[in-house]
Homo-oligomer: A and B are copies of this chain.
Amino acid sequence: MDVGFIGLGRMGRALAACLVRAGHTVRVWNRSPEAAQAVAGARPVPTAAEAFAGDAAVTMLADDAALRAVIVEGGLLDAPDRPGLHLSMSTISVALARDLAAIHERAGVAYIAAPVFGRPDVAEKGALNIVAAGDPGALGRAGPLLDAMGAKTWPFGPVPERANAVKLAGNFMLVSAIEAMGEAAAFAEGHGVAGADLLDLLTNTLFASPVYKGYGASIAADRYEPPGFNLRLGAKDIRLALAAAEAVGVPMPFASALRDNLIEAIAMGDGDKDLAALARVAARRSGRP
């Protein structure tokens, strides 16, 4: 397929490379040209409009503001060469996803929400889990692209923003797992048990899953740099989850506690560290250095 790819952060580059590897023709574009790095086999184009064209366009941008700026304020949906399909993979608010679905419908461009689970190193191997929702026909057409970028695509029906709700729910559970490990480790240390020993036991038995093993290893080693996914982005996702929960009348006490603790972590200077550094809040509160 003839694909345009917008957003060449580490995640975007990994996904664009997957598309190239699978034999698709890929045009790439990034907002800040100086940050744009080459994707071998893909053709850089000078404007967003040239990327937002062809059989399908894929976007992987940092947040609501970036996606809105490029697509909506950039007027791309009015461009004559607009693509038949927009595969929107950024982690964004449910509200923006709903708006975008409506705007795309008016413009006659199929809109598929397809956020992903997995860190950039997983993306590089094409091993992400992709959550996809949108018009069934369009989802079918996007199949080869989704297959190229992820290990598995989990369909969540015809309403695009539901995929974004699922993504936020997953990230909420992920940050909850980190907080639980942080509190458990602080508790153990208070009783003379090394947090690393506790986490070694638990993440190899009851909690032997990717999230616990990955973040648990960081907490056990008390090592949060370089960040795989930084704490400030985690705080953003919890903010989005709380806003989306409030919109549908769902209280989330764990998410509220996470929000407070993430704000404290940022106030203490850990915003640019890995999200696992949230565990330092529990340690600090118990008077440990």
Contact = CB atoms under 8 A, between A and B. Distances in A.
Given A191-B244, A192-B162, A267 B253 contact: no
A211 B201 contact: no
Contacts of A198: 166, 169-170
A173 interface: yes
A254 B179 contact: yes
Contacts of A168: 187
A159 interface: yes
A156 B254 CA distance: 30
Given A191-B165, A259-B256, A202 B173 contact: yes
A262 B174 CA distance: 22
A149 interface: no
Contacts of A246: 239, 259, 263
Contacts of A72: none
Q: How many copies does the complex hold?
A: 4
Nearest to A133: B193
A174 B206 contact: yes
A154 B191 contact: no
Contacts of A180: 172-173, 176-177, 180, 254
Contacts of A166: 188, 193, 198, 201
Interface in A237-258: 239, 241-242, 244-246, 248-257
A25 B201 CA distance: 31
Interface string A141-172: 00000000000101011010110011011101
21 contacts: A117-B206, A152-B205, A156-B193, A161-B191, A162-B191, A162-B192, A165-B187, A176-B254, A180-B254, A183-B250, A183-B255, A186-B252, A187-B241, A187-B248, A187-B252, A206-B209, A250-B282, A251-B264, A251-B267, A254-B254, A269-B287
Interface of A: 94, 117, 129, 131, 152, 154, 156-157, 159, 161-162, 165-166, 168-170, 172-174, 176-177, 179-181, 183-184, 186-188, 190-193, 197-198, 201-202, 205-212, 239, 241-242, 244-246, 248-257, 259-261, 263-264, 266-269, 282, 285-287
